Chain A
Amino acid sequence: MQMDPGLHKGEGYQYGPNPKQHYFSPYSMNGGTVLAIAGEDFAVVASDTRLSEGFSIHTRDSPKTYQLTNSTVLGCTGFHGDVLTVTKLLEARLKMYKNEHNRQMSTSAIAAMLSTVLYYRRFFPYYVYNIIGGLDDEGKGAVYSFDPIGSYEREAYRAGGTASSMLQPLLDNQIGFKNQEGVTKVPLSKEKAVFLVKDVFISAAERDIYTGDNIMIHVTTKDGTETEVFPLRRD
């Protein structure tokens, strides 16, 4: 492993031959991974529950999923301060919509609105990676993924966060049947989706230091949302 011989890290101090400029960063990275899968009549949103900073763990029990309505779950990771603010804002806007419209916001409307909320801060972005999972107006599973400034798209599945580059190719292969030859494409059942989610997170926890402790899985169907917690490696 490559290490700069001039720098020693001990007790929070950095010694080195070169001058180092200090500055205040408004952001920090709190790690974590989120995943959402859209089925024929269900949607799965899962996240790990570890909150970290640098090589430390703040807590092992901080889920990154937020239930917005009966039929919509939001997963967000990135800078925890902005995660909290965005979710607060969204929940407030949802309440306002409900008061004005006498009904809950649809998943597609929430997605569209989140895009505008994020773009509003185009020049000082919320450092948050969002993924919305839920049911669309026709009752089919829907997943919407976002970048920090609100670019969004509806997809069948998406992984976000620190282990996203490990999870996404796995999902491409198993759900999208990519890079496979001569396979019959079977639609994904709810049970298979949950097994897949557990497996991919276990794999991610093996290699990504920021992912681990527990997974929280939300499965949304027309009858509401069921939640399951599943243990992961704690190292």
Chain B
Amino acid sequence: MTERYSFSLTTFSPSGKLVQIEYALAAVAAGAPSVGIKATNGVVLASEKKHKSVLYDEHSIHKVELITKNIGIVYSGMGPDYRVLVRNARKLAQQYFLTYQEQIPTLQMVQRIANVMQEYTQSGGVRPFGVSLLIAGWDEDEERPYLYQCDPSGAYFAWKATAMGKNYINGKTFLEKRYSEDLELEDAVHTAILTLKESFEGQMTEDNIEIGICNQDGFRRLNPTEVKDYLGAIA
């Protein structure tokens, strides 16, 4: 079906906007909240994972995912679109390794993912991805943490801390007040949880949020027990 469309479905409006991208951003803003905070010694990614029914098997599917040993990712928006991008990103990371026998630097990964997302705004017969991504990485040679956001347009931004999804404006305001340059990873996780709590309806438990951390030991998703410990620390 896509072969028949050699023209892009994302076209300019008279005011100079690409409305499909605006709508994609709206899909993101309607999605579950996620938060990313860069600390002095690492990065934390956190996201709400509310299920519509108690029958859902909560821990089978994950929002926070690993791309390489040192790079992790989370999203706000449409889950299926996210899965495609994660798959793509993982392949790109391995292709890089095959060519250079080196782990892909975080910024290079971000640029490649952003490039894929941009292609879907200018190719025939496709629509933009309905997700914004938060990418956390630790570069071995430079020994420093990175946090980036990728938008449906293909634009990417480097952040110290940010929020996406529902109530992201409040989330960002909260972070503006709470963020400091000398936050360590432990405090950053705490702050991330508090930021999520701002827009959380109901009781926050280790089964309905996901947290991932990235430091010099690489990226990993926290298991529910660890999340529970952090939750216990908030008043």
B55 close to A (CB within 8 Å): no
Whose C-beta in chain B lies nearest to the C-beta of A108?
B101
B56 close to A (CB within 8 Å): no
Partner of B99, one of A100, A106, A108, A112: A112
CB-defined contacts of A116 to chain B, threshold 8 Å: 98-99
CA distance A101 to B111 in the complex (A): 11
Most chain-A Cβ atoms within 10 A of its Cβ — which of B98, B99, B100, B102? Answer: B100
CA distance A51 to B99 in the complex (A): 32
CA distance A105 to B141 in the complex (A): 13
Whose C-beta in chain A lies nearest to the C-beta of B97?
A112
Interface size class of chain A, counting residues whose CB lies under 8 Å from the partner chain: 10 to 19
CB atoms of B102 and A108 under 8 A apart: yes
A200 close to B (CB within 8 Å): no
B40 close to A (CB within 8 Å): no
B100-122 near A? 1/0 per residue, CB < 8 Å: 11100100100100000000000
Interface of A is mostly: helix
CB atoms of A109 and B102 under 8 A apart: yes
CB atoms of A109 and B108 under 8 A apart: no
A196 close to B (CB within 8 Å): no
A71-93 near B? 1/0 per residue, CB < 8 Å: 00000000000000000000000
Whose C-beta in chain B lies nearest to the C-beta of A112?
B101
Interface size class of chain B, counting residues whose CB lies under 8 Å from the partner chain: under 10
CA distance A106 to B99 in the complex (A): 13
A94 to chain B, nearest CB (A): 12
A149 to chain B, nearest CB (A): 16
A152 to chain B, nearest CB (A): 10
A113 close to B (CB within 8 Å): yes
CA distance A135 to B130 in the complex (A): 46
CB atoms of A112 and B108 under 8 A apart: no
Whose C-beta in chain A lies nearest to the C-beta of B105?
A101
A22 to chain B, nearest CB (A): 41
Partner of A100, one of B98, B108, B141: B108
CB-defined contacts of B102 to chain A, threshold 8 Å: 106, 108-109, 112
A102 to chain B, nearest CB (A): 9
CA distance A108 to B101 in the complex (A): 8
B98 to chain A, nearest CB (A): 7
CB atoms of B108 and A113 under 8 A apart: no
Q: Which of A79-134 contact B (CB under 8 A)?
A: 100-101, 105-106, 108-109, 111-113, 116
CA distance A105 to B171 in the complex (A): 40
CB-defined contacts of B98 to chain A, threshold 8 Å: 116
CB atoms of B105 and A113 under 8 A apart: no
CB-defined contacts of B101 to chain A, threshold 8 Å: 108-109, 111-112
Whose C-beta in chain A lies nearest to the C-beta of B102?
A109
CA distance A112 to B96 in the complex (A): 11
Whose C-beta in chain B lies nearest to the C-beta of A102?
B107
CA distance A134 to B4 in the complex (A): 52
CB-defined contacts of A137 to chain B, threshold 8 Å: 141
CB-defined contacts of A109 to chain B, threshold 8 Å: 100-102
Whose C-beta in chain B lies nearest to the C-beta of A137?
B141
CA distance A137 to B101 in the complex (A): 13
CB-defined contacts of A100 to chain B, threshold 8 Å: 108, 111
6 nearest A-B pairs in the assembled complex, by CB-CB distance: A112-B101, A109-B100, A116-B99, A112-B100, A109-B102, A113-B99
Q: Given A108-B101, A109-B101, list of 8 further CB < 8 A pairs?
A: A101-B108, A108-B102, A109-B102, A112-B100, A112-B101, A112-B102, A116-B98, A116-B99
Q: A: which residues have CB within 8 A of B?
A: 100-101, 105-106, 108-109, 111-113, 116, 137
14 A–B contact pairs at CB < 8 A? A101-B105, A101-B108, A106-B102, A108-B101, A108-B102, A109-B101, A109-B102, A112-B99, A112-B100, A112-B101, A112-B102, A113-B99, A116-B98, A116-B99
